[in-house]
Amino acid sequence: MARVLIIGAGGVGRVVTHKCAQLPEIFDEICLASRTLSRCETIASELKRPIQTATLDADEVPQTVALIKEFRPDVVINVALPYQDLAIMDACLETGVPYLDTANYEPKDEAKFHYGWQWAYQDRFKDARLMALLGSGFDPGVTNVFTAWLHKHEFDEIEYLDILDCNAGDHGQAFATNFNPEINIREITQRGRYWENGDWVETDPLSVSMPYDFPEEIGEKQLYLLYHEELESLVKHFPKIKRARFWMTFGDEYLTHLRVLQNVGMTRIDPVSYQGTEIIPLQFLKSLLPDPSTLGETTKGKTCIGCLVQGTKDGKPKKAFLYNACDHEECNREVNAQAISYTTGVPAMIGAKMIITNTWNGDGVFNMEQFDPDPFMEDLNRYGLPWKLQILS
């Protein structure tokens, strides 16, 4: 039915490629591109059907334009680095191809991310009669769809939204991140931020925490407040939300390692001189840490990510938790990846399917919650991320 160009061959790229390859009736031609061709070829060798591979520096718009013109995809799935979002969007505009990503743009020289840079493309995509779907991962992505589904089916008004991201898995490493170390560490070391009563409230990094008793036999885990991009779009599209927060679990050992690395300057993103050469400490640290795409073989346990919502239904107070629990070992058996990559890659495939089948359509730049959540929720159950709803009160 359609040709798909996947840019990025890390852990998430592996999952997206595997899941697209499982649906030849939707994705009949696949091209996987990355700066490192050997990564693409390794993933291609794992599949039961042939795909094309290509070398691509996605920072270079002319290279991406040339590859799009050669392969002629019906949609581009961007699972490269967030630094490259705008360059890939530019290439899609130049070639007239719909765009999809899983994380919003972030400049290399500042650990600050927001949708402003990509929302600024609204008129350009609308005038080109093209669709750009932002944040089609899990968080952001599924959490946005969860919120829209809860508002449509379970709540007349959502007043309080807490997005809970729990990774109860154990990868057996002294210190490792479950996705790109550079992006992960930049994300969690910046100041926290949440929405309350029409304004943003800032907190010191990892200074606010709370326990939560997770289902699926995971039990009580400590959550830490972070800023995450879906908060920005959700409070825009659900303006009656009084408070919206994002929380993520971290173990004591992880936090101790992170604190030491910060104290000695290894998480800095500004250049420093070392033996006459300028290096970025965080990028050097990334080269020393385990590649997240290799953690699937050793990681055991589960993730549990969902939306804890309070509001009203038929004039009465209501509280519910809508979530997915994902098993690391089951993910590795299916696609050679751990659950963090799986929970991001599967929604990226589903988002592309929504575009290709014209289930979701429009001209311009869109966030996930702007569309009917029902078909996406059905596909989560169908393609490996079944969800459950707990009515808590």
Whether 344 is in a domain gets the answer: no
Looking at the domain assignment, is residue 383 inside a domain? Answer: no
Q: What sections of 190-321 are H helices per DSSP?
A: 230-237, 252-263, 281-288
- Give the dihedral sign, CA 337/343/344/345: positive
Measured between alpha carbons, how far is 187 from 192 in angstroms, rounded to an integer? 9
pTM, full prediction: 0.93
Q: Is 37 part of a structural domain of the chain? A: no
Q: Using an 8 Å Cβ cutoff, are 83 and 77 in contact?
A: no
Question: What count of Cα atoms within 13 Å lies in the side-chain half-sphere of residue 146?
Answer: 32
Length of the chain measured in residues: 393
Q: What is the pLDDT of residues 336-352, one digit of tens each?
A: 999 999 999 999 999 99
Provide the pLDDT confidence category of residue 32 given band limits of 50, 70 and 90: very high
pLDDT tier at 179 (50, 70, 90 boundaries)? Answer: low
Q: Is residue 158 part of a domain?
A: yes
Report whether 245 contacts 194 (CB < 8 A): yes
Place of tokens 């300028």: 278
Provide the residue range defining the domain that includes 249: 142-332
> Residue 243 sits in a domain of what CATH number?
3.30.360.10
- What are residue 386's phi and psi, to 5 degrees? -65, 145
**Residue 388 domain-assigned?**
no
Q: Encode pLDDT of 242-286 as tens digits.
A: 999 999 998 777 777 777 777 777 788 788 888 888 888 878 877
Q: How far apart are CA 251 and CA 63, in angstroms?
A: 42
Quote the CA–CA distance of 233 and 170 in Å, as a whole number. Answer: 32
Domain count across the chain = 1
Give a yes or no: residue 135 inside a domain: no
The SS3 call for residue 36 is coil
Domain assignment present for residue 169? The answer is yes
Whether residue 314 is contained in a domain is answered as: yes
Q: How many CA atoms lie within 13 A of 386 on its CB side?
A: 4
